[in-house]
Structure 1
Amino acid sequence: MSPTRWGPPIDVLPYFSKEEQALMTLLGALTDEDWTRPTMCAGWSVKDVAAHLLGDKVGRLSRGRDGHTSEGPRPGEPFPRFVDRINEEWVVACRRLSTDVLLTMLYEFMGQTTEYWAQLDLDVLGEPVTWAGDEPAPRWLAAARDYSEFWVHHVQIREALEHTPLEAEYAEPIADTFVRALPHTLRDVDARVGKQVGYTVTGHGKWYARRERDGWVLDRGAPPSRTPLASVTTDLDTFWRLCTRNAANLDRVRTAGDENVCAVLLGMTSIIA
């Protein structure tokens, strides 16, 4: 897999099956009361989030593997609103299913998404990853986007259940995926060519974006410049919550440099919102 303006490729294929198995082990042991517990997704229970995960899986297979074209946004409907609407419609429809039926469907489709990504050339450009830009993105970024969304919802379910945290190994690609929104996040920041900004997720890596003539380019590591335009440092738990618009403890965030650019960095969104 080749580097791009979004930085070096991310290989999430080794993580898909293990994360799915951990999720199904968790869901298979739930009580009736567990399924109804509220999650941090407003208005959604544990069952609703599990149904949303099923929708993501079958939607990926239908669009990507089977070439199925479904409805698009209504006239004048912004794309994020369209996504919110169809997600809600799916979840509401799945409330008609028993938990046994939902589990059966999850068991049926879980491994198929792993197989789908494994058979593709992940260097090839595919659909846009909209939070990373409007242009076609390499498939490895789309696969990483899918994995990161599954991981976030898995964590949300565990937190709702007050269950043990998901094993740290499953989080290894998360910071490296979400930070790929950085070039798109900085698109309106006016800086001279060569200027850099840095983002550090403690214990998980350092990244920097460098201004080129045609936009910002991401790379791993600390900024080569001793005086980056701006930099942000935080831990993974705070980082993923910031990137997904969940409540985060800003006391765990350290910033340096241009305050306006730091504010842009802290507004980075790695979901469709």
Structure 2
Amino acid sequence: MSSVDAEGLLGMGNDVWPMVHAERAALIADLGQLGDDRWETPSLCAGWTVHDVMAHLVDVALTTRIGFVVDMVAARLDFDRQNARGVRRARGASPQETFARLRQLASRTSTPPAPLDTRLVEEVVHGEDIRRPLGLTRSYPEEAVRRSLLQQAATSAKFGGAKELLTQVRFTATDADLSIGDGPEVRGTMLALLLAASGRKIALDELGGPGLRAVRQVS
């Protein structure tokens, strides 16, 4: 498998938006079939329900560069506090109200001051945060997962990525020609590697290789 320089292959242009919009549309289609009793299901995000993650995606879709800076100042530069404030702001009086907001925002292209591929990470990873606890599955386009994984490989752990981890281990995809990092190998599908790179412990049982112990220690 080929070695990949994660920072060198990140998407830099507006070509990411069709993929972002496709992921939003797919999640909206899945959530449109959800019964009223499923919205409070715990998601893969600690302390957040499915409804909360949906509210976060509404907040993410509305975020602008200036708005993000203002929010971070108000949150005293605490990223987790900023996210929590955003969920409270975006969450409607009912799941149906929040869902309606998500539908209305599906085609937006606003973004915080971050690489555009982080918008794709938000949709794919949070899509799994919602789908897995609900027993839903999606066959993600390979390019969407690849670009999300490369973005997480270049993102610091303090912002939810795996840049530091990948100086200790090497992620090798079993379903694509992709290998990232330096150290003992961790093998799995790109989606499982993406979830592990994003701190989702649920994916660890889908991975193998001599580097897995190091991943478990930081997860």
Query: By how many angstroms is 1:208 displaced?
Result: 4.9
1:232 has 2:205 as partner? no
Query: By how many angstroms is 1:85 displaced?
Result: 1.0
SS in 2 for 1:40: coil
Higher strand share: 1
Q: Is the 8 A contact 1:39 1:160 kept in 2?
A: yes
Partners of 2:175 and 2:152 lie apart in 1 by 15
SS in 2 for 1:70: helix
Q: Is the 8 A contact 1:242 1:266 kept in 2?
A: no
CA RMSD of aligned residues (A): 3.5
1:49 has 2:53 as partner? yes
TM-score, with length taken from structure 2: 0.73
Partners of 1:5 and 1:151 lie apart in 2 by 18
Query: By how many angstroms is 1:187 displaced?
Result: 9.9
SS in 1 for 2:42: coil
Amino acid at match of 2:135: E
1:87 has 2:57 as partner? no
Sort the Cα spacing of 1:112 and 1:181 in 2 relative to 1 into closer, same or farther, 3 A. Answer: closer
SS in 2 for 1:30: coil
Q: Is the 8 A contact 1:38 1:46 kept in 2?
A: yes
Partners of 2:27 and 2:53 lie apart in 1 by 12
Partner of residue 177, structure 1? 151
- Counterpart of 2:204 (choices 217, 240, 249) is 249
Partners of 1:26 and 1:245 lie apart in 2 by 24
Q: Which has the larger radius of gyration?
A: 1
Q: Is the 8 A contact 2:6 2:180 kept in 1?
A: no
1:20 has 2:24 as partner? yes
Partners of 2:166 and 2:24 lie apart in 1 by 35
Partner of residue 138, structure 1? none
1:51-130 → structure 2 map (5 Å cutoff): 51-59=55-63, 62-63=64-65, 67-68=66-67, 69-73=69-73, 79=77, 82-113=78-109, 116=110, 127=113
Sort the Cα spacing of 1:202 and 1:179 in 2 relative to 1 into closer, same or farther, 3 A. Answer: farther
Partner of residue 37, structure 1? 41
Q: Is the 8 A contact 2:193 2:207 kept in 1?
A: no
Query: By how many angstroms is 1:172 displaced?
Result: 4.1
Query: By how many angstroms is 1:93 displaced?
Result: 4.3
- Counterpart of 1:151 (choices 119, 124, 138) is 124
Partners of 2:206 and 2:6 lie apart in 1 by 31
Higher helix share: 2
TM-score, with length taken from structure 1: 0.61
Stretches of structure 1 that go unaligned for 5 or more consecutive residues are 118-125, 130-141, 190-196, 210-228
Identical pairs, percent = 22
Partner of residue 159, structure 2? none
Runs (4+) off by over 6 Å: 186-189, 265-269
1:162 has 2:163 as partner? no
Q: Relative contact order: is structure 1 or structure 2 higher (C-alpha 8 Å, sep ≥ 6)?
A: 2
Amino acid at match of 1:239: L
Query: By how many angstroms is 1:95 displaced?
Result: 4.6
